[in-house]
Amino acid sequence: MNKAVKIIMIAGLAGAIFTGCSSSSEVTSETVAVEIQDENQSVVEEMLDGEYYAEESEYSYGYKGTMKIVVADGLISEVVYADIDENGNKKSENEEYNKKYMDKSGISFEEVSTTLRNQLLETQDLDKIDVVAGATTSSEKFVKLGKEALGK
């Protein structure tokens, strides 16, 4: 066979193969882009406006954790986290306790509460809260109460 005939046969064969592989539902670059975008999009759960509360059922070392989260326009706008005693006194306002806490962990309970609150206001996501150094238990309690308050 001469060269021209071979080229025509190859071209015809290639055309037949590609035509035979087509289907009624074409996949275009737009379709692929949409599928990839949908697959990689993060799911943002919409929060309903309102006030959400949670508190521990038991006192531990004389205190139990409480949490109030206010959602406005679908965003967390206020966070109140406190450990309170049976009389309603806040652990963060107990000077003797805070001195011991500071001596042991290098940070006051008030600083821990403020740091955790600010993280939540900034990230809007309890799963993105970093544990405060020296306050692992308090950090974990903050996240747990936050999730309970928001029903997660």
- Predicted local distance difference test score (pLDDT) of residue 39: 41
Report phi then psi at 34, rounded to 5.
Answer: -65, -45
- Predicted local distance difference test score (pLDDT) of residue 47: 84
Q: Quick check: 94 and 84 in contact, CB under 8 A?
A: no
Alpha-carbon distance values, 147 to 17, 104, 127 (Å) = 57, 28, 9
Mean pLDDT score of the chain, rounded to an integer? 79
Describe the chain by its helix, strand, coil percentages, rounded to 5: 50, 20, 30
Question: Which band of pLDDT confidence, cut at 50, 70 and 90, is reported for residue 21?
Answer: very low
Give 57's contacts (C-beta < 8 A, 6+ positions apart): 64
Which 3 state secondary structure label does DSSP give 37? Answer: helix
Question: Which band of pLDDT confidence, cut at 50, 70 and 90, is reported for residue 152?
Answer: confident
Q: Quick check: 145 and 81 in contact, CB under 8 A?
A: yes
Q: Quick check: 116 and 129 in contact, CB under 8 A?
A: yes
- pTM greater than the 0.85 cutoff: no
pLDDT per residue as tens digits for the range 2-14: 554 455 555 554 4
* Residue 70 tokens, joined: 């206010």
- Lowest mean pLDDT of 39-43, 50-54, 121-125, name the range: 39-43
